[in-house]
Amino acid sequence: MDQPKKKRVMVWGARIICVLGLSLFISNVAVAAEIAGISGSSAELHKHYDKSLRGKTIGFVPLALGSPLMGSWDYNMRKEAKECGMIYKVKDPNWNAQASAQAISAFIAEGVDVLVAHNMNMQLLAKLLRKAEKKGIFVIQINMVSNYKTDVFVGADWYSIGLRQAERVLKHCGKGTGKSGKVAIMQGELTSAANIEQVEAIMSVLKNHPEIKVVSSQAGNWDSNIEHDNMATILKQHPDLCATIGIWGISHLGAAQAIKEAEMTDQVLVVTSGGGSVQICDAIEAGLIDVYFNYQSLLQGHDIMAAAKLLLQSGLEPGQAKIALFSPVFEITKKNSSYSCFPYPFPEEMMEALKIDYPFLPISE
Amino acid sequence: MWSRLKQSLFHRNDQYAIPPMDGVLLPNNKIDQFRVVRDSINRPDDLEVDSDGRLYVSTGNCIIRLHGASLEEEAVIAQFEDPPGGLNFHPDGRLMVCLDGKGLALVGKQGVEERLDIAGDGAIRCANTAVAAPDGRVYIADGTSYHGPREWYFDLMEKRTTGRLLRYDPETSKTETLLGGLSFPNGVAISHDGSSLLLTESWSHTLSRYPLSDIRPETRDVLISNLPGYPGRIVPASGGYWMTLFAMRTHLVEFVLTEDKYREEMMRSIDPAYWIRPALSSGEDFLEPLQAGHAKTLGVMKPWAPPRSYGLIARLDEDYEIRGSFHCRVNGKRHGITGVRERGGALYAASKGNSLILEGRSGGA
Amino acid sequence: MNMSSGELLNSKAGPGSVVKAALKSLTQEQIIVLVTFVFVAIFSIFINGFATVGNLMVLLRNMSVLGIFSIGMGIVVIGRGIDLSQVTTGAVSAAWVLKLMHDGMGITSAILLGLALVLLVGVINGYLIAFIEIPPLFATLASGICVYGFVRHFLLELLNNHYVPDTCKDFLFLGQGKIGGIPMPVICFGLIALFVHLFLSRISYGRFIYAQGDNEDAARITGIGVRPMKVLQYTLCAAIGYIAAIVMASSTASLNVRIVDSTLIFDVVLVVVLGGISLVGGRGSVLSVLAGTALIGTLLNGMVIMNLGIAQQNLVKSIVLLGAILLDTFLHPRDEETARQGDI
Amino acid sequence: MSQLNDGLLQLRYRWSFKKFLAELLEKRWMDGIIPFGIMVCVILVFGSQVENYFSPDVLAMTAREFAEPGFVALAMAVTLISGGIDLSVGGMFAIINFLSLMLTHIYGWPALAVVPAALAVGALMGALNGFLIGFLKTRAFLTTLVTMIAFRAIVKLLNLEFAPKIALSAKTTFYESTVWDYMGDGSFLGIPSNVVILLVVAFIGHVLLTRSRPGWRVYAVGGGRRSARHVGIKVERTIFFVYVISGILTALGAVFYAARLDSAASETGMGLEILALMAVVLGGVSILGGKGTPGRALMGIVIVMVITNALLRLGIDSALNSLIQGLILLFAIGIDVKWLKHLYASIEKIYVVPTYLSLPKALDPRPGSGTVFEFNDRLKDAETIGLDQIDGPEDVILDRQGRLYGSVRQGWIVRFSGDDFSKRDIFANIGGRPLGMAFDRDENLVVCVGGMGLYGVRPDGEVYKMTDETNRTWTRLKDDSRIRLADDCDIAPDGKVYFSEATIRYKMEEWPVDGQECRPNGRLICYDPATDRTKTIVRNLIFPNGVCLAHDGRSILIGLTWKCDVLRYWLEGPKKGRIETVISGLPIYIDNINRASDGNYWLASVGLRTPVYDLAMRMPSFRLRMVKFVPPDEWLYPNVNWGCVIKFNEQGDVLESYWDPLGNYAHVTSMREHMGYLYLGGLHNNRIGRIKIQGADPEWTGPDSYWGKK
């Protein structure tokens, strides 16, 4: 069967898994509750909550810290872990494959309770993650799903984002719009799961519309400079470009700049996606970007913690659950750009929140 | 202590300050080719020639006069209880004789006519040379106030700078000290134009000039500094000057001069003949210090071995530039040349070290 | 060197030497320029939209940053060195400048601060190489890593992406403005090229760099202060790299520190060597840099239009560079007798 | 009082830290000791910082991670040693990693087939580098830089093509194969498999590099291409193979990496080249080439990996991490460069360490002094033999046939024969600097050869080695097992050869420096031809020179040159093995000692003590500075221009002295009595002299007195 259909099936499959997983998980909690003989009062819940969470460690291995996306994850996990008395550790491999493998195995060696992995590609960490689960560690993967499905996946649903991006482009350049229908796709890292899925989704839509011509589909390695130069060239070559689709807003800003320099901001529709940091909203205000699909990395951070809490309380063994939490995606345009982004780097008062020492009740038997 | 510190700090650059014998001072064997006028004459110190071309020599305790076609005849013209040194004619025809430890004697037709042994602030211990200016005033180089000329090397090894330049006025028979604190003033001469006075200082290896009218430390004009040897007397030549260097500097001596502890112990406990010091002659006594370069190989002593004693006469031109030189090298036996005079085309030299009177061609330099 | 290669020429008779003789009649710049024209011709024929004035201007514009970097590098390479920390230093400093502006500092003061940082790094590089006598390759390799870490940790708070704040829109003029229809980057490139050319060809210090690059010992003996000269070179190189980075930042209104991990620095070396500034030092000029830049620019532009991926582009680039290096060793063969130890 | 004072001063100067340091720095293992120290420190420091760092499984895990870069470090080390560098290791690593995954996951090859394939491809890529750098003579750094970019690009392309396939081929998410898994996870006696292999490879590599011809070639090329080429090494080929090997080693590492992580990431091996470079340089493999061993490379990788891994695990942020790494790299290279640059210079600087020696006041040898040493002209009219035909006969000896032998500078034994010794021929060409000689029972000539040891010459002129090493003194830092400066020998009735080694700190031509130092650096050695064993019997002698068997054959006399003493070492009798002083404080510097026909002994003097030199002997620091600051040609010397010969009896009373007023025998280093004549040799003389001795037994010859009449 042809790729896109297969994909769509997969995605739907994923969603079903997700729903099933949730139900399964709820039933689990019920079971757990029964075993724990809880009457249902909040105090009892609280006791259960504290018992299963407090003092547990959660380890985080991002690709690298220092970008809004991973920064916001880091921020939320740090904060919420502190709130529920969990110990939060992060090891920063800074885009280095060996290093992230090292970090994971270091966490395994140190024996954390929950391991949050941001996978560089589809199977860099697969084997290690399996090892971790074998060692009794819950594993949460974020944004880039590895081909080894661990307990929980938290992240953007690239495929649907891709579909929605394509739809918007169709609306702008498709039949009857009288535009050239020329579209440029600015890819990121060609082997990253996100990239693969999103691009496939986009193509799966666009290829059913002959009036749309994809004039360029190049990888910019998440680098705004490369995207800038490429876009400049493309524009010279296709002055009638109708739209450009970017995978990651931050790097796509480069392309947007190029369009601005060519004074074609009105003509070219700039569609991209990302975690929704303030720079993007500024760019939308400035008219550099027209449509932005925001999968709200701050919320993702929260989801990660939620998933961690669920797993720890569920009484499941690592490897039993198969849960996917696809992030809600908001479409940001000029209309809502004023309030839809989070500031980055985080303002002082937000950082203050990390310094609070939260009061804890003693765990009563 | 300080010297030790200096050594460690500044890498003893002074060790390398001895200029190489090169260019106009390139070693040769010219002195070895001189004709021997007299041998086994008792340590001749200085020479003087009178208008009739007769040669006066200060030797042993007397002054002798050599005359005749090839100077074969000889006559004693004066006797002293102390060895006479520098000789020079006074314009009034009297011969000025420097006496060891006893200042100056003026010898005329009736023998010694006048004595000068006290100069203003102390006895004249070491009158090396006395020369008269056209106006009849006598300039005396008093090497040191501690030793007589015979013990010149004590003065060197004690690092004394107590030499004086004196002026004696026969009219008023007054003596005044023009310069003090000199490092062994040895040769003194009046320039050809009669306007300035030339002075060699042995221990500072310099030849300097003072305006005859005004001789003060401030008016000193150093003509040659850092000679490779210890300059002795300087006398007028046809179109220039002759300068004797009665001994050469060696690294070892310069080194010992910086090694106070060793030097003092050596001077305290060892016979002066066997000190590490320059000498007027060497090689007779086998308790003398020997340096690596001296070691005979295959029965030969290298001429470039470090010179304990050496024979050297330098020729200066009107502008006090060294223009040429006569040498007798380490393996030679005509060392310690203290006196030199030119007569006609002939050059007479007194080798005090090896007790010789020599005659060469003045044009040869 | 020339002489010895001459001997080589005489010693080896045969077709090789004939070709070589033919090539030797041309300087490497000339060869490269020729090749460039060939490429331009090919592209214009087979790629529509290449031979437009607009595209050529874009080509120039896109190359100017690389060009500026390369001129800086050229100075060092002429002096028989290499500076692998150039891009890193420039990039992180420029990022710092953006950060400073973001934190509300004025444009000029921010830029000056950044410059100070860069000059410091340049001097340190020079010191390591000239006085501690660490081979340039390793010294700059290590110093690059250090600077990257230092600036990111102490000055950039680990942020990778930095943006020009709205308050400093004037800053963008440097990269996005136009004077008489010519984009600023191109103008900067031109000016720097001019200045450096004058420096290298008219000023005694410039000539000294050639002397030192050609034969350091001889230069030292003739009384050139070789060590200060080296410090000067690396400082200049760093400063020019800084300008390039500033232009780059301003033209995209942002800077991602991760550019350090990209192959940009290798592109710079590529341009320099390609243009005929031999790594044996003492050869080439700003013109060589221009030639090299032109060729690479044309290649990249063409490849982008042909819609080649980064990977393919790198592959092509590396092959071209390999060719350049071979040409270099072919024209200036390494003299085994004079080659110094550790001179790799 | 002064005696005590002298003793104290002697003690004060006896042991010197500078001497210790100089001899320490000379050791070849010094280069390795520094990285080793760093390694230990690093492990202790970071190990204590990171929690449960030393727990077995964590260690195993860490070791497993170390192993793969370890292979790469080996590769880098080999290239650096050969005077090059290979920056493409990272790229190769990635390609091989990807390749092996492709073969296993997509084509399902068996692991046993994948490994050789991977190695072959690695070799191929290495060959590309090798060809460019070795044969086309491109510069290693740039070339490998470019190939690195190329390899990376290729990985990217492969990735685009196959990564999804590898990734999405869901059923083979994990390629199952016992071998593959063993490579990835297995361990041998608790040691991870890849570590075991790494150690084995490193060991083999070490042996090959340091103990085999090809290995030496690599070092030679790295140490200096020019010289290597001049001695006929095929530089091009050597370099080529070095890079091939580098490729293979990298491939090996990559295969293990693939087996462990199963990841086809295109980022694989990013920055690996820097890591490896840092490691080997830290390990003490010089970037200037020609220095270092695989062992050190491994030390380096351990250091670097411990640091990076620990920093990561401590949660240090990446920036600080790279800052630290950069600084370490800089530091390491700086040290490396400076170390190599200054090591030998500093050894030179501090090697000479003069000591305190106070000689008793000497008898006055000057004319008219009336002492037994009083200067005379008894050597004045000595007949000259072989004038200007002989260059420095240090020792002279005559055989039963009355032929005269001289050991000369050219390394020959020159023989003069005929009744007036007019016939000159080269009896033997030994080499080195032949010095003392003696005839053994079978009329073989036993010769001490400076710089070579103890040699024998058969009557037919055939040269054979007797010994050139003795038992090492383990308490000494300096290896004194080699015999550097055998000086004079004599033979006991039982055939044992007793010979003196003047100094163990200096070479033959440096003997005057030893004179300046004046330390007890010499020793008396005994060689037994019967058992062919060599043994040092007396240590710490101050330049022992002459050795002579006493007439009764029960003791030997030893002359100490700088100490001006004659010692007696008892071979048998009540005082067996004891040392006693026979004469002390002679006014002359002692050289050889030989028997005289009247039952006394001849003693040759190489020179005279001078007051200033004696004083210098009492001022070590003065001598030290002199050696440092005064050009060698101007150093203060003992007066070696006035030699003499003296005769003394068993009790050590000096009986008479012979002087040469002409200085033809500037210094006498040896003399032999033969048939009523005394023959004179000198280290720098251009002749052998002989004089008739009044009242000497005209029949007496050396061989007879030793081995009886024949």
What is the spatial distance between Cα D404 and Cα D424, in angstroms, rounded to a whole number? Answer: 9
* CB-based contact D159 A190, cutoff 8 Å: yes
Q: Is the per-residue pLDDT at B359 higher than 60?
A: yes
Helix (H, G, I), strand (E, B) or coil at B304: coil
Give the pLDDT band of residue C45 (cuts 50, 70, 90).
Answer: confident
Residues in D closer than 8 angstroms to A102, CB to CB, are: 65, 309, 312
A224–chain C Cβ distance below 8 A for any pair: yes
Helix (H, G, I), strand (E, B) or coil at C91: helix
Chain A residue with CA closest to C63: the answer is A229
Query: For the whole prediction, is pTM greater than 0.80?
Result: no
Q: Which residues pair with D485 in a beta bridge?
A: D450
What is the average per-residue pLDDT within D534-543?
91
What is the spatial distance between Cα B240 and Cα B339, in angstroms, rounded to a whole number? Answer: 16
Tokens for D608, please give them. 């005279």
Contact B173, B195 (CB under 8 A): no
Tokens for D285, please give them. 């493999």
Which positions ≥6 away from D599 have C-beta within 8 Å?
Answer: D551, D649, D650
Query: How does DSSP assign D558-598, residue by residue?
Result: EEETTTTEEEEEESSSTTTT-EEEEE---SEEEEEEEE-TT
Give the pLDDT band of residue B271 (cuts 50, 70, 90).
Answer: very high
Which positions ≥6 away from B116 have C-beta within 8 Å?
Answer: B103, B104, B105, B106, B124, B168, B173, B175
Q: Which residues pair with B98 in a beta bridge?
A: B104
Contact B42, B331 (CB under 8 A): no
Tokens for C228, please give them. 């200060």
Nearest chain D Cα distance for residue C321, angstroms: 7
Give the pLDDT band of residue A354 (cuts 50, 70, 90).
Answer: confident
* CB-based contact A257 C157, cutoff 8 Å: no
Q: Is the per-residue pLDDT at B14 higher than 60?
A: no
Q: Is the per-residue pLDDT at B90 higher than 60?
A: yes
Which positions ≥6 away from D344 have C-beta within 8 Å?
Answer: none
Q: How many CB pairs under 8 A join A and C?
A: 99
pLDDT at C2: 42
Q: Is the per-residue pLDDT at C320 higher than 80?
A: yes
Give the pLDDT band of residue D124 (cuts 50, 70, 90).
Answer: very high
User: Quick check: bond before A345 cis, omega within 30?
Assistant: yes
* CB-based contact D330 C142, cutoff 8 Å: yes
pLDDT in tens, D374-398: 988 898 888 999 888 899 899 999 9
What is the average per-residue pLDDT within C111-125?
96
If one compares A343 and B2, the residue with the highest pLDDT of the two is A343
- Measured CA distances, D359 to A247, B27, D309, D580 (Å): 93, 39, 64, 17
What average pLDDT does the structure give for chain D?
88
If one compares B131 and D38, the residue with the highest pLDDT of the two is B131
Give the pLDDT band of residue D169 (cuts 50, 70, 90).
Answer: low
Nearest chain D Cα distance for residue C153, angstroms: 5
If one compares D587 and D339, the residue with the highest pLDDT of the two is D587
Tokens for D232, please give them. 């006929």
Among C62-71, C104-113, D49-58, D482-491, the minimum mean pLDDT is found in D49-58
Chain D residue with CA closest to C331: the answer is D138
Chain C residue with CA closest to D327: the answer is C146
SS (H, E, C) D169-234: CHHHCCCCCHHHHHHHHCEECCEEHHHHHHHHHHHHHHHHHHHCHHHHHHHHHHHCHHHHHHCCCC
Which residue, among D458, D514, D493, has the nearest Cα to D638 in the 3D structure?
D514
* CB-based contact B255 D666, cutoff 8 Å: no
pLDDT at D558: 95
What is the spatial distance between Cα C201 and Cα C74, in angstroms, rounded to a whole number? Answer: 13
Chain A residue with CA closest to D317: the answer is A92
Give the pLDDT band of residue A19 (cuts 50, 70, 90).
Answer: low
- Cβ–Cβ contacts within 10 Å for residue A304, how many? 27
pLDDT at D396: 94
pLDDT in tens, B223-252: 998 899 999 999 999 889 999 999 999 999
What average pLDDT does the structure give for chain A?
82
Q: Compute the radius of gyration of chain A from its Cα atoms.
A: 22
Q: Is the per-residue pLDDT at D190 higher than 90?
A: no
Residues in D closer than 8 angstroms to C269, CB to CB, are: 142, 145
* CB-based contact A105 D65, cutoff 8 Å: yes
Q: Is the per-residue pLDDT at D166 higher than 80?
A: no
What is the average per-residue pLDDT within C158-178?
84
pLDDT in tens, D97-109: 999 988 888 888 8
pLDDT in tens, A202-236: 999 998 998 899 988 888 877 788 888 889 888 88
Instruction: Tell me whether 0.90 is exceeded by the ipTM.
Output: no
* CB-based contact C158 A251, cutoff 8 Å: no
* CB-based contact D265 A120, cutoff 8 Å: yes
* CB-based contact D321 C139, cutoff 8 Å: no
- CB-based burial, B319-331: b 16+ in 10 Å, e otherwise: ebebebbbbbbbb
Q: Is the per-residue pLDDT at B364 higher than 80?
A: no
Task: Quote the strand ranges of B24-137, DSSP E.
Answer: 35-39, 46-49, 55-59, 62-67, 73-79, 84-89, 95-99, 103-108, 111-116, 127-132
pLDDT at B191: 94
What is the spatial distance between Cα D530 and Cα D512, in angstroms, rounded to a whole number? Answer: 35
Contact A55, A64 (CB under 8 A): no
Tokens for B299, please give them. 């029965």
- Which chains lie within 8 Å of chain A at 3 or more CB pairs, if any? C, D
Nearest chain C Cα distance for residue D232, angstroms: 14
Interface test with A, best of D55, D275, D318, D324 (most A CBs within 10 A): D318
Q: How far apart are the first and last CA of chain A?
A: 58
Tokens for C190, please give them. 């031109």
Q: Which amino acid is at C38?
A: V
pLDDT in tens, A143-168: 877 777 888 999 888 899 999 999 99
What is the average per-residue pLDDT within C25-33?
79
Chain C residue with CA closest to A252: the answer is C252
pLDDT in tens, D668-692: 899 999 999 999 999 888 899 999 9
* CB-based contact D145 C334, cutoff 8 Å: no
* CB-based contact B15 D388, cutoff 8 Å: no
Residues in chain D: 710
pLDDT at C12: 43
Give the pLDDT band of residue A30 (cuts 50, 70, 90).
Answer: very low
Give the pLDDT band of residue A31 (cuts 50, 70, 90).
Answer: very low
Nearest chain D Cα distance for residue C264, angstroms: 11
Helix (H, G, I), strand (E, B) or coil at D49: helix
What is the spatial distance between Cα D561 and Cα D608, in angstroms, rounded to a whole number? Answer: 11
What is the average per-residue pLDDT within A82-91?
89
pLDDT in tens, B153-172: 999 999 999 999 999 988 88
pLDDT in tens, D311-353: 888 878 878 888 988 888 788 778 777 777 777 778 878 888 8
- Which chains lie within 8 Å of chain B at 3 or more CB pairs, if any? D
Tokens for D50, please give them. 């990171």
pLDDT in tens, D629-669: 888 889 998 888 888 899 999 999 999 999 988 888 888 89
Q: Is the per-residue pLDDT at C23 higher than 70?
A: no
Query: How does DSSP assign D414-437, residue by residue?
Result: EEEESTTS-EEEEEEE--SEEEEE
Tokens for D15, please give them. 């042991």
Which positions ≥6 away from B186 have C-beta within 8 Å?
Answer: B128, B129, B141, B143, B200, B201, B202, B230, B231, B232, B233
Which residue, among A276, A325, A331, has the nearest Cα to A303 in the 3D structure?
A325
- Cβ–Cβ contacts within 10 Å for residue D265, how many? 28
What is the spatial distance between Cα D528 and Cα B333, in angstroms, rounded to a whole number? Answer: 54
Helix (H) or strand (E) holding B256: helix B251-258
Q: Is the per-residue pLDDT at C124 higher than 50?
A: yes
Instruction: Please identify which residue in the block is written with the tokens 């007028």.
Output: B236
Interface test with A, best of C164, C258, C267 (most A CBs within 10 A): C258
pLDDT at D616: 93
pLDDT at A16: 52
pLDDT at B11: 46
Q: Is the per-residue pLDDT at D198 higher than 90?
A: yes
What is the spatial distance between Cα D124 and Cα D110, in angstroms, rounded to a whole number? Answer: 21
Q: Is the per-residue pLDDT at A113 higher than 50?
A: yes
Among A124-133, A162-171, B151-160, the minimum mean pLDDT is found in A124-133
- Of the segments A106-120, C84-98, C329-343, which one has the largest average pLDDT value? C84-98
Tokens for D391, please give them. 């260059």
- CB-based burial, D443-467: b 16+ in 10 Å, e otherwise: ebbbbbbbbbbbbbbeeeeebeebb
- Which chains lie within 8 Å of chain C at 3 or more CB pairs, if any? A, D
What is the spatial distance between Cα C278 and Cα C288, in angstroms, rounded to a whole number? Answer: 10
**Residues of chain D that touch chain B, judged by Cβ-Cβ distance less than 8 Å:** 365-366, 375, 388, 391-392, 512, 608, 610-613, 615-616, 619, 622, 625-626, 629-642, 663-664, 666-667, 684-687
Which residue, among B265, D187, D316, has the nearest Cα to A92 in the 3D structure?
D316
A226–chain C Cβ distance below 8 A for any pair: yes
Chain A residue with CA closest to D272: the answer is A98
pLDDT in tens, D63-109: 888 899 999 999 999 999 998 999 899 999 999 999 998 888 888 88
